[in-house]
Amino acid sequence: MTELKYLYGIIPTDEINQTPLPSFKGLDEQHELYNIAFDGMEAIVCDLEESEYNESALEEKTSDVQWVHEKAFHHHEAVMKLHEIYTVIPMKFATIYSSKTNLEETLTKHYQEMTRLLSWLKGKEEWNLKIYCDNDSLRERTAAHNLTIEEKKKEIEQMSPGRQYLEKRKLDRLIDQQLEKEKEQHSSSIHDQLATSCVKTDIKKNWNKDVTGRTDEMCWNSVYLLENQDVEKFLGKVKQLQAEWKEAGFTLELTGPWPAYHFSKLK
């Protein structure tokens, strides 16, 4: 029976020679993960039955949200285990090849790029920072301390009652505009302070409340690639910034270390 190759990631041969691949089950919970050697690199794969994971079968499986959730979690856990031991180029969930030959064709095509990437990623790890804000608290602070708003309030006090009503509505819109501006400025400032300790950074799209499940709003989402020796300094800086911005209504949530998902994308 034809067996497909499910690819978890690429690691250096010299590292797997030093530390053999640990034993754990693959996506189907039957086949074990194993390595396929390819000129100084190792593709970490598991076999899948073609009848169960061909294109039409996979399309049916991925229509099941629960199945996707469980298997995507398995993929992430497997890549995390590899990252704990080796330098790894992590693959996306459901990266499947029709055969070993088909996989080797891809490795040949991207060989130079993968080799450079493995060398560059060695001794590095990824961290993610999400900044959340309490809009109500921030709005009150903005309305009380922003100079532009203070000047507008003084102007309104000199107007007639009818005119004041209209101008106060405009003022509310101005406060909202200033609030968004200040959130961007403060978050950007936090990011810039952290970026000085990093090899590379990237700013990602914010998630809405339906995704986060939180009552406060995500106002910043960024990732950082760090040398291992710089991690302790970075964590200390995050802890300092968390304390500094807590009273102002900002919550800094740091997660990691992760495999370099955001910094190892192949062209």
Tens digits of per-residue pLDDT, 130-188?
A: 999 987 777 666 656 666 666 666 666 666 666 665 666 666 677 777 778 888 999 99
The DSSP string of 37-79 is EETTEEEEEEEEEHHHHSHHHHHHHTT-HHHHHHHHHHHHHHH
pLDDT at 10: 97
On whether both 42 and 56 belong to a single domain, the answer is yes
On whether both 56 and 107 belong to a single domain, the answer is yes
Domain boundary among 101, 122, 143: 122
On whether both 149 and 118 belong to a single domain, the answer is no
Q: How many structural domains comprise the chain? A: 2
pLDDT at 258: 95
Entry pTM: 0.83
On whether both 139 and 94 belong to a single domain, the answer is no
At 207, which CATH number?
Answer: 3.30.70
pLDDT at 161: 61
pLDDT digits (tens, 9 = 90+) for 90-116: 999 999 999 999 999 999 999 999 999
Mean pLDDT value across residues 186-193: 95
On whether both 21 and 149 belong to a single domain, the answer is no
Verify cis geometry, omega within 30 degrees of 0, for the bond prior to 259: no
The backbone torsions φ and ψ at residue 38, rounded to the nearest 5 degrees and listed phi first, read -155, 85
Q: Would you state the structure tokens that stand for residue 219, as one six-digit string?
A: 């106002």
Distance CA 166, CA 157 (A): 12
Is residue 126's pLDDT more than 60? Answer: yes
On whether both 108 and 154 belong to a single domain, the answer is no
pLDDT at 13: 97
On whether both 137 and 194 belong to a single domain, the answer is yes
On whether both 135 and 248 belong to a single domain, the answer is yes
Half-sphere exposure of 104 (CA within 13 A, CB side): 8
On whether both 154 and 111 belong to a single domain, the answer is no
On whether both 136 and 221 belong to a single domain, the answer is yes
On whether both 11 and 30 belong to a single domain, the answer is yes
Structural domain containing residue 211: 125-263
pLDDT digits (tens, 9 = 90+) for 217-245: 999 999 999 999 999 999 999 999 999 99
On whether both 167 and 197 belong to a single domain, the answer is yes
pLDDT digits (tens, 9 = 90+) for 49-92: 999 999 999 999 999 999 999 999 999 999 999 999 999 999 99
Domain boundary among 122, 145, 165: 122
Domain boundary among 69, 93, 122: 122
Residue 250 CB partners (closer than 8 Å, separation 6+): 131, 132, 133, 186, 187, 190, 219
Q: Which one is predicted more confidently, 44 or 147?
A: 44
